[in-house]
Amino acid sequence: MKKLMAILVLSFASATSMPVYAGIEWDTFNDEAESLYQQGRYAPAITVARKALLIAEQEVEPKHSNLAISLEKLALLYYATGQAALAEPLYKRSLAIREKALGPDHPDVAKSLNDLAVLYKSQGQYAFAETLYKRSLAIREKALGPDHPAVATSLNDLAVLYYTRGQYVEAEPLYKRSLAIREKALGPNNSDVAESLHNLGVLYKSQSHDALAEPLYKRSLAIFEKSLGPDHPSVAMTLNSIADLYCSQGQYELAEPLFKRSLAISEKVLGPDHVDLARILSSLADLYSNQNRYAKAEVLWKRALAIMEKAYGPDHIGVATVLNGLAILYHSQSQYTQAEPLYKRSLKICEKTLGPDNPFVATSLNNLALLYDTQGQYVLAEPLLQQALAIREKSLGPDHPDIATTLENLATLYQKTGREKAAKELAKRIAAIRGTQSE
């Protein structure tokens, strides 16, 4: 699955109304937590952020906005480490404090709503996320005006949600409006403009509009390099996107040096154990797999897995994603006994962390089903494909491209088991979905 570039940023504000000694200590802890976060050292960052929260709890009234900031920052760290169950109540408490202290229509309330929406989106709770994103957008438009950069951020985030759900028609105008606001308010060479260009490029690539995507990626890269320098993580991630585009076109000789440059930047700036590095390693591993360079791919997948497990623990969705990639590698080499336990572990993590009706669960079910199908174990494969289809229809809507993919796999199974009529019926629906996406 291809992901939009998303960089979590901790922005720690100072508590100016605290006693001086407490405020200084609070600032110190927040600065230290930010530094640890940027290094990918999440566990010590959480420890320090807890200390900052304790100070805020002791030194200010419960309704104080600085307490909301501390709650928000610790929630962000929990979210970054896949601890959604711990993050959610902190986000909600921060939101409640801000609503009580500032009123329901304050821009800071909009930020809290947006943060909570990001959490729900990551869990596949798209309906909840959409409601919060829309409320955040409405507040910002009313309080700040329709052309404020914060409005552009809300539009971008809502567009990402629609993109994730395969609602490309709904996503495109939001991306374009966000881009227009940012270009007007911030100038054409601002890094936020580069983000909008990048995300619009991702949307076009997902629809196989490569000719539209490539110039957007390249303009995004040029802005990032100019505004942030050639060795910034955003440069690395954009290089990764361009390389991925070339890889999907079979232009491996163009893709590989870009992947390697992206990897070198990330290793230099973020260190060898940062999760962004794992994502780039996964992309390069995909390239090697496509070239049948399986030994090289396996080394990269295993390194990515070690990074994810070290950063997040064994039960994070990022770990599940890498396990799935490694399983696909073994599957493609007919190493079924190695692939099956990895697929199953990935599925178990997804079900545990996201719930049984999440689209990521459907992906794991689909891939495990294909493993059984490849071995002729159709009795095991069919119910998994049916379950994956039901989950995707419920969570993504009837016209998402992933539904067409599942239907194609199910139709192939029907053909293999002599059910030609059933396969033809599915083919009609597949054609209707693909036609909708190409419009």
Q: Would you state the pLDDT for residue 142? A: 97
DSSP secondary structure letters along 241-283: HHHHHHHHTT-HHHHHHHHHHHHHHHHHHH-TT-HHHHHHHHH
Tokens for 47?
A: 């420890």
Rama region for 91: left / alpha / beta (φ>0; ψ in -120 to 50; rest): alpha
Name residue 205's amino acid: K
Residues in the chain with pLDDT < 50?
1-21
Query: Roughly what angle, to the nearest 10 degrees, separates helices 191-206 and 168-186?
Result: 160
What's the CATH number of domain 1-130, 2.30.30.280, 1.25.40.10, 3.40.50.300, 3.40.50.2300? 1.25.40.10
Between CA 203 and CA 241 the distance in angstroms is 12
* Domain 1-130 matches domain 341-439 at the CATH topology level: yes
Question: Of the candidates 162, 252, 265, which has an alpha carbon nearest to the alpha carbon of residue 206?
Answer: 162
Q: Would you state the pLDDT for residue 39? A: 67
Q: Would you state the pLDDT for residue 271? A: 83
Q: Would you state the pLDDT for residue 423? A: 95
CATH class of 341-439: mainly alpha
Q: Would you state the pLDDT for residue 415? A: 96
CA distances from 86 to 29, 89, 357 (A): 20, 6, 21
CA 431 to chain CA mean position, Å: 29
Backbone angles phi, psi at 289, to 5 degrees: -65, -40
Per domain, the residue ranges of the chain are: 1-130, 341-439
Q: How many Å from the N-terminal Cα to the C-terminal Cα in the chain?
A: 22
Name residue 233's amino acid: P
